[in-house]
Structure 1
Amino acid sequence: MIRVLIVDDEELVRAGLRLILQSSDDILVVAEATDGGGAIAAVRRHRPDVILMDVRMPGCDGMTAAEQIRDIDRTAKIIMLTTFDLDEYVHRALRAGAVGFLLKDIRPRDLISAVSTVASGSAILAPTVTKRLISTFTERDGNAMKAARAQLSILTDREIDVVDAVARGLSNAEIGRDLAISEGTVKAHISRSLAKLGLSNRVQIAILAYEARREQS
């Protein structure tokens, strides 16, 4: 059973999300919160597997909460709920350890699938909306590009190949087929790259790759 915490300051949004998620036999909504402060308290009390959290809320917002939740429980998977006009906020949230983000007009079945995906240890990193948004707000800072390239220089050539594939939104199985290596080897490369780079998840790897201008069209 996947334990979910819903965080949004709008009651109707929370009710809609809860109704959708609880239609799945594999998902249990264990708590709700109206702001980041409430989310932090709920994480301490309920230890949810997945947190669906709005980016912009009064008081303690989603980004601040994500940064603090990461220190409280690194196993919790945070998915930010956002709209296209919040790119900069999403960037900060992803850096804080969120595993991805969803637009609020997501279809019910896709929401359920997304929660299941992140609960299993993967990230919400489709090579469509997510790639476009990350690419947009990481191409503005030349200093960030230089720093990212320096950070990635500690990886081996094969690890760089895997990082590039992750940034393109490929699954482990797809990366294995592209690089002619086993899925287990892909996982090992990703784990070693995360450890070397001091990162928490695949989304952060993808951001770093985009900042280094390593993305592929």
Structure 2
Amino acid sequence: MIRVCVTDDQTLVRQGILSLLRLADDVMVVAEASDGDESLAAIGRHQVDVLLLDLRMPGRDGIATLEALQERGIEVPTLVLTTFDDDELVLRALRAGARGYLLKDVTLGQLVGAIRTLAGGGTLVQPALTERLLRAVNALPGGYPAWATPTGTDPAIAHPIDDLPPPVPLTSRELEILRLLAGGFNNREIADAMYLAEGTVKNHVSSVLAKLHVRDRTRAVLRALHLGLLTERPPGR
């Protein structure tokens, strides 16, 4: 049974999600919260396998909640449910460690499937969300926000994503490391999760950046979204 905490400040939305999840045989809602503080308290009281988290909430919002989880060393796979009215907010959630992203108009099957994916250690980005995110990025002057310019490119003359050289295919291990990067894991955490030496992980991360022709982790995740690498299920799951 997958234990879930649902966090959303809109009562009707939250109750609707709860009602839907009760229809899934392998999902059990163990807690609900209306803001980040209640969510953190609930996670402290209950064993939670997956956190469903709204981004825009009064008080401690979704981003601040993700950051608090990281600061406290609490590793709960977090699925962001958003209306996607702020593209940069979703990028911030990615950098803050969210493992999945869905629009609030998804079906019950899509929602439960995403919960199962995160509970199994995977990551998931809804294709429609990915496409809109990429359109937003490409619509910016120069095609990239300041933090996401391609390797060796002056931000003032940055090229669009499509102008990057074709990527070199990643190995299965590099793909898994890329998914963990998207989840906000650092080298030590990746090493622990994959039973590797931290130096080995560092070498793999460098290889991923080189193959994707980017210069840091955030750019790697952004390009992975563009290429659809994070919408694929990990091998064997």
Same fold (TM over 0.5): yes
CA RMSD of aligned residues (A): 3.2
Name the SS for the 1:29 alignment partner.
Answer: strand
Q: Where do 4+ consecutive residues of structure 1 move more than 6 Å?
A: none
Is 1:66 the counterpart of 2:70 in the alignment?
Answer: no
1:8 positional shift: 0.5
1:120 aligns with 2:102: no
Which amino acid in structure 1 is aligned with residue 121 of structure 2? G
Q: Summarize the alignment of residues 83-98 of structure 1 with structure 2, pairs less than 5 Å apart.
A: 83-98=83-98
Report the TM-score, using the length of structure 1 for normalisation. 0.70
One-letter identity of the residue aligned with 1:198: N
Corresponding residue of 1:48 = 48
- The structure where helix makes up a greater share of residues is 1
Query: Which residue number in structure 2 is paired with residue 131 of structure 1?
Result: 130
Distance 2:218 2:129 in 1: 10
Give how far 1:209 is off. 2.7
- What is the distance in 1 between the residues matched to 2:5 and 2:96? 18
Provide, for residues 78-121 of structure 1, a one-character-per-residue CA deviation record: whole Å limited to 9, x for no partner: 11111131211111111100012111111112111111111111
Q: 2:115 & 2:222 partners in 1: Cα distance? A: 27
Give the whole-Å Cα distance in 2 for the aligned partners of 1:74 and 1:146: 33
Percent identity between the aligned chains? 36
Distance 1:192 1:213, change over 3 A: closer
Q: Please give the alpha-carbon distance, in whole angstroms, between the structure 2 residues aligned to 1:135 and 1:206.
A: 17
Change (3 A) 1:124 1:212: closer
Match of 2:144 in 1: 140
Alignment CA distance shift 1:96-1:143 (3 Å) = closer
Aligned to 2:186: 198
Matching of residue 189 in structure 1 with residue 170 in structure 2: no
Which residue identity is paired with 1:209? A
Uncovered stretches (5+) of structure 2, i.e. residues with no partner? 138-142, 154-166, 191-215, 229-237
Secondary structure at the aligned position of 2:80 is classed as strand
TM-score normalised by structure 2 residue count: 0.65
